[in-house]
Amino acid sequence: MNNAGPADPATRIAMWSGPRTVSTALMRAWENRPDTVVTDEPLYAFYLDRTGLDHPGRDQVVASQPTDWRVVLARLAEPLPDGAVISYAKHMTHHVLPEVDQAELAPFRHAHLIRDPRELLASYARVRAEPTVADLGLRQQAEIFEAFGGPVVDSRDLLTDPEGILRVLCQALAVPFDGRMLAWPAGPRDSDGVWAPYWYDSVLASTGFAPLPPAVHRAARPPRAAGRAVPALLRPPAPLPHYRGELACFRPSMSATAT
């Protein structure tokens, strides 16, 4: 028996990342499009409720969102407001606890934002005491990538060439690029999670993607053919040694940046 309803005309993007990957700035870019609505970490309350972790503003977070992952996913599938044809959900991979049936993620169009785990842990340590690799959600990102694929964007590449990378990302997601993704007004948004006062100082002050300091620029890596095997970076417990060499093949082809 086929219970499928009419095809959904909306593009529903699930962007998966760990913390401290410029994910909130990327959410700002998508929200600045007039055709897009964004959702900020919709599984956060579920994650805190189940784990009992004491994050900043924990009680506010748990009160602000559903704590049932099924309800969260159902809300992400609801009709969009008039004028919107894209739904963009910023997800933290570590929020996907074992209880979540990942098969239920199939209706979404998946993409991945990554950062060298060594840099990520160092950055996360500034806002959270004693971070661990488990806080990065590497296992969950590996599972989601293996199941659904999707373009992979390195946060360094994004900061080095915002327009080029966003053009390639939009192409990979089958949506048109919009130049308004490159700059946005400073300040809070109604869509920001209630945790914004604890985590979003830099983004609240931003008006675009901050350039990388010259000292941390890397030489461009040549693109490689895309595939569906799990990137070595995302295979715990040893994600670091393969980061530079093997993840590049999952980045969108840089040849599209010239179009």
pLDDT in tens, 188-240: 999 999 999 999 999 999 999 998 766 444 433 433 323 444 344 433 334 44
Angstrom distance (rounded) from CA 17 to CA 203: 16
87 has which bridge partners?
Answer: 12, 37
208 has which bridge partners?
Answer: 183
Task: Reply yes or no on whether the pLDDT at 146 is more than 80.
Answer: yes
Angstrom distance (rounded) from CA 252 to CA 257: 10
Angstrom distance (rounded) from CA 10 to CA 254: 27
Task: Reply yes or no on whether the pLDDT at 64 is more than 80.
Answer: yes
DSSP 137: T
Give 123's pLDDT tier (boundaries 50, 70, 90): low
* Average predicted confidence (pLDDT) for the chain: 81
Give 5's pLDDT tier (boundaries 50, 70, 90): very low
Task: Reply yes or no on whether the pLDDT at 48 is more than 60.
Answer: yes
231 Cβ contact list (under 8 Å, min separation 6): 142, 145, 152, 242, 246, 247, 249, 250
Helix (H, G, I), strand (E, B) or coil at 56: coil
Contact 57, 198 (CB under 8 A): yes
Contact 57, 215 (CB under 8 A): no
Q: What tokens does 161 get?
A: 């060439």
Enter the pTM of the model. 0.81
Angstrom distance (rounded) from CA 21 to CA 218: 17
Give 118's pLDDT tier (boundaries 50, 70, 90): low
Task: Reply yes or no on whether the pLDDT at 43 is more than 80.
Answer: yes
Return the sign of the alpha-carbon dihedral for residues 16, 21, 24, 30. Answer: negative
